[in-house]
Amino acid sequence: MVRSTGTSARRRRGVAVVCALVATLAAPSAYAAQQPAEQARLKISGHETQPVFSRADAVYQQVDIQTEVDSDGDGRRDTVRMRILRPEETDTARLKVATIVEASPYWAGGNDVPNHGVDLDEDGLPVAPQRASGQPGLTGPATAYSGYYDNYFLPRGYAVAQVDSLGTGGSTGCPTSGGRNETLGAKAAIDWLGGRAKGWDPDGNPVRADWSTGNAAMMGISYNGTLPTAVATTGVEGLKAIVPISGISSWYDYYRANGGVVAPGTYQGEDTDVLARYVYSRADREICKPVLDALERDQDRATGDWSAYWDERDYLKDAGRIKAGVFVVHGLNDWNVKTKNAGRLWQALKENHVPRKLWLHQAGHANPMPLRMEEWLRQVHHWFDYWLYDIDNGVLDEPQVDVEQADFSWQQQSDWPARGTRDTTLRLRADGTLGRTARPAAVQSLTDAGRTVPAEQLVAQPDAANPNRLAYTTGVLDKDVRVNGVPTVDVRASLSGTSPYVTALLVDYGRDTRATSGTVTDTSQQVCYGEGVPGTPGETGCAYRSKHAVQTADFKIVTRGWLDARNRVSYAHQSKVVEGREYRLRWDLQPQDYVFKAGHRLGVVLISTDYDYTLRYPAGTTMAVRAGAGSLTLPVAPSRS
C-alpha cells in the first residue's frame, strides 16, 4: 500500500480500499484556495458543524500503530493498521479535526470455517459432522461503514478512519474474539490520535497525528459495534463518544446463556474459535494457530459455565471506567446479537452515571440509518458535535430513548424500560391458562423433541394437544399490553433423560402482520445526504431508504430464554441433576419491547431443546412441571393515553 493525497472510493476491504483511493487525483478545494496561508476553521451555524470541506479533495493517510501487546508471541509489540480520510485543509491550512473511527476484523475478508457439531450423543459428545459456516454471525451488513461516514461527516470537519483489528488485514497479532488484546489493539488507534502511541507510514518513517485534535469517536455495527464498547471501558483519554450498534457487551451473552451453550440466531455451532479463524486474514497464516487452538480449548463447549475466559470478554464489569458519551442502538428483532447485550449495557451505564442515549428499532441485525435517515443523521451528528467539538446543541436535553413501535411509528421517552413499568406475575395453571391467581397444583409433562422439531412448530396451535410442549395462554386481551424489559420464568420441574436444557418462549397469539428481522430497500425513495465524489462508483452521497420486511401469521415468538438445569444455582458451576427430582428453576428471557394487542392472547410455551439455539441431546428427555407452582413475570408499562 502507498500513501497518497488523493481520495478514496467507497471504503472497501483490503487492497480495494487503496486502489480506489489512489485512483482519484487530488485537486485544491475552493475553501483552501481562498486562505492557503491561514488556519482553516470549522463553520458552525445553527449549533452544528456545516459542510464546508471537500470530500473529493480529501487526504488519504495510512499508518501502522504500535500497541501495548504481543499476542502472537513473536517478541515484538503488535501493530494495527489505520487508514484515514481527512479534509485537505489538515495539510494545507493547519486545520485540526476530530476523528470518527471504525475498527473491524472484516476489512480484508474472511475464511471458510466449519462450525461445531451440535447434535450430541448420550455422553454429550458431537455425533454429527461439522458443517461449513461460510460467513459467521457477527459480520453485520456490508454497508455498515462505507455508506455515509465520509460523505456526511468529512465535509463537516471530521476525519474518518478504519482500523484493521489484530490478526486481520494489515495488522499483526492474533484475533481472539473479544479478548483483551483486541481491545488494546483498537485502543492504540485512539492513543495515536492523541499523541501517545508510535506510528509509521508505509515507508517505515515515524509519523504523528499533527492534524488531530486528540478527540475521537468510535462507531460501527456488530463486531464493529462491539469494539467501541470494549475500548471505552479502558477509560482511554480522547475517546469522547461511541455509537455501538448491535454490539456485544459480554461475549458470554453472545455464545452462552445461564450455563448453556447457545448459538447466535441462524448460526448453530458457531463459537469464539470459529469466528477467530474466520477473520484471521493477516499475511502470516501460521503464527496464530496456537492461539486459535487455545480459544477452542478454553471456551468449553461441554458445560457452558462462566469462567475466566468469559470474564476477560465481559465489558460490563468495567462500565464505570467509561468516559465517553454512549449512544446504544439495537434491533428488537435481532437474534444474532441478542437484546440482552444492549439491555445490560444500558443498565450498567445508568448505574455508573455515564451519559447515554438509546435507539430500539423493529429490525434485526441491521443498520438503522436507512430506516429513519434524516433523524438518524441529525441525532448522530449532534452527538458527535457535542462530545468532540463541545458544541452546545441541546442533545443531552432531548429524551434519552427512541423506540420504534409495531406500526413503525417512533416514540420518545425518558428511560427504558419506560417509567412506571411494573412487574406483573401470571401463574401457570394446569388447565393451560395464565392468570393472576394460582390454582391447585398438578404435575404436567412434556417429551423433548427439539432435536428435530423447531420451536416455531412447537408453539403453534396452543389449545391443541401436543406431547412435546407445555403451553399456557391468557384469555383474549381486552386492551393492549406493552411488555418492556426482561421477562422471567419460575417453575418447579424435574428432568429425566439426557438433555439438561429448559427453554421458555413468550408468544403473541393472534393473526397479524408483524415485523421480521429483515429490511427491504425502497428503490423509489433515494435521499442525498452528503457530498459525493464525481467519477467514483458508489460515492454518490445518496442512499435509498429501507422499510421493514413483514410477515402475516397466526403467532409470533416475541422472546425466548434458556437454562442449563445443572446451572440452576450458579451459571459458573454445575450442580448434579438427579433424574426425577423436582427443582426450582428460574431464568430470564431476552429483553424486549413489544405490544400484545387487544384481541390477541399472550402465551408462554415450555420446551427442553431449542433446535436453532441450544445443543441437541438425543430426543426423549421428559420434563415434568408442577403447574400451579410456576409463574411468568412480565415488566408491563402503564397504558398509553
Nearest-angstrom CA–CA distance, 107 and 138: 14
For residue 624, give every residue at least 6 positions away whose Cβ sits within 8 Å of its Cβ, in sequence order, or none: 443, 444, 445, 493, 494, 495, 496, 580, 582
pLDDT beyond 90 at 394? yes
Say if CB 489 and CB 632 are below 8 A apart: yes
Amino acid letter, residue 90: T
DSSP state of 290: H
pLDDT beyond 60 at 609? yes
Each residue's pLDDT tens digit, 83-108: 999 999 999 999 999 999 999 999 99
How confident is the model at residue 130, as a pLDDT? 59
pLDDT beyond 70 at 129? no
Rounded to an integer, what is the distance from CA 224 to the centroid of its chain? 8
How confident is the model at residue 133, as a pLDDT? 60
- Beta pairing class for 239-245 and 212-221: parallel
How confident is the model at residue 147, as a pLDDT? 67
Residue 102 β-bridge partners:
162
Cell digits for 220?
460501527
- Please identify which of the residues 365, 381, 548, 600 carries the catalytic annotation: 365
The 10 Å Cβ neighbour count of residue 485 is: 20
Nearest-angstrom CA–CA distance, 100 and 189: 11
Cell digits for 215?
478527540
pLDDT beyond 50 at 37? no
Each residue's pLDDT tens digit, 240-277: 999 999 999 999 999 999 999 999 999 999 999 999 99
How confident is the model at residue 32, as a pLDDT? 37
The 10 Å Cβ neighbour count of residue 63 is: 26
Say if CB 405 and CB 515 are below 8 A apart: no
> How much is the mean pLDDT over the chain?
92
Residue 255, helix vs strand vs coil: helix
How confident is the model at residue 68, as a pLDDT? 98
pLDDT-derived band at 451, boundaries 50, 70, 90: very high
Helix axis angle, 180-193 relative to 223-232, nearest 10°?
Answer: 70
Say if CB 63 and CB 81 are below 8 A apart: yes
pLDDT beyond 50 at 20? no
End-to-end CA distance of the chain: 60
Nearest-angstrom CA–CA distance, 442 and 289: 55
Nearest-angstrom CA–CA distance, 189 and 182: 12
- Please identify which of the residues 334, 385, 593, 612 carries the catalytic annotation: 334
Mean pLDDT, range 123-128, rounded to an integer: 86
- Buried residues in 289-316 as b, exposed as e (16+ CB within 10 A): eebbeebbeebbbebbbbbebbeebbbb
CA-nearest of 85, 62, 230 to 159 is 85
Each residue's pLDDT tens digit, 39-62: 899 999 999 999 999 999 999 999
Q: What share of the chain is helix, strand, coil (3-state, %, to 5)?
A: 20, 35, 45
- The superfamily in CATH containing domain 15-32+49-413 is Alpha/Beta hydrolase fold, catalytic domain (3.40.50.1820)
pLDDT above 70: percentage of residues in the chain = 91
35 compared with 23, residue with greater pLDDT? 35
- The superfamily in CATH containing domain 422-513+552-636 is Galactose-binding domain-like (2.60.120.260)
140 compared with 38, residue with greater pLDDT? 38
How confident is the model at residue 139, as a pLDDT? 66
DSSP state of 61: E
CA-nearest of 20, 38, 143, 155 to 88 is 155
Q: Is 365 a residue of the active site?
A: yes
pLDDT-derived band at 539, boundaries 50, 70, 90: confident
Mean pLDDT, range 287-303, rounded to an integer: 97
pLDDT-derived band at 140, boundaries 50, 70, 90: low
CA distance readout (Å), 627 to 509, 561, 604: 21, 19, 13
Nearest-angstrom CA–CA distance, 430 and 203: 75
Q: Is 334 a residue of the active site?
A: yes
Nearest-angstrom CA–CA distance, 168 and 498: 41
For residue 279, give every residue at least 6 positions away whose Cβ sits within 8 Å of its Cβ, in sequence order, or none: 105, 106, 110, 111, 165, 167, 168, 175, 223
Nearest-angstrom CA–CA distance, 382 and 389: 10
CA-nearest of 245, 405, 230, 404 to 330 is 245
CA-nearest of 104, 139, 76 to 14 is 104
For residue 329, give every residue at least 6 positions away whose Cβ sits within 8 Å of its Cβ, in sequence order, or none: 225, 243, 244, 245, 246, 342, 358, 359, 361, 368
Each residue's pLDDT tens digit, 171-219: 999 999 999 999 999 999 999 999 999 999 999 999 999 999 999 999 9
Say if CB 455 and CB 607 are below 8 A apart: yes
- Buried residues in 527-559 as b, exposed as e (16+ CB within 10 A): eebbbbbeebeebbbebebbbbeeeeeebbbbb
- Please identify which of the residues 222, 246, 281, 494 carries the catalytic annotation: 222
Taken in order 213, 390, 38, 58, the sign of the CA dihedral is positive
pLDDT beyond 70 at 334? yes
Range scoring the smallest mean pLDDT among 28-32, 158-162, 278-282, 524-528: 28-32
What pTM was estimated for this model as a whole? 0.92
Nearest-angstrom CA–CA distance, 66 and 203: 15
Nearest-angstrom CA–CA distance, 259 and 563: 6
How confident is the model at residue 519, as a pLDDT? 96
Count of alpha carbons within 13 angstroms of residue 90, beta-carbon side: 30
How confident is the model at residue 323, as a pLDDT? 98
CA-nearest of 304, 324, 289 to 251 is 304
Nearest-angstrom CA–CA distance, 144 and 106: 11
How confident is the model at residue 24, as a pLDDT? 32
Q: Is 307 a residue of the active site?
A: no
CA-nearest of 244, 301, 305 to 270 is 301
| Domain chopping of the chain, boundaries | 15-32+49-413, 422-513+552-636
Phi then psi for 340, rounded to 5 degrees? -60, -30
Each residue's pLDDT tens digit, 552-575: 999 999 999 999 999 999 999 999
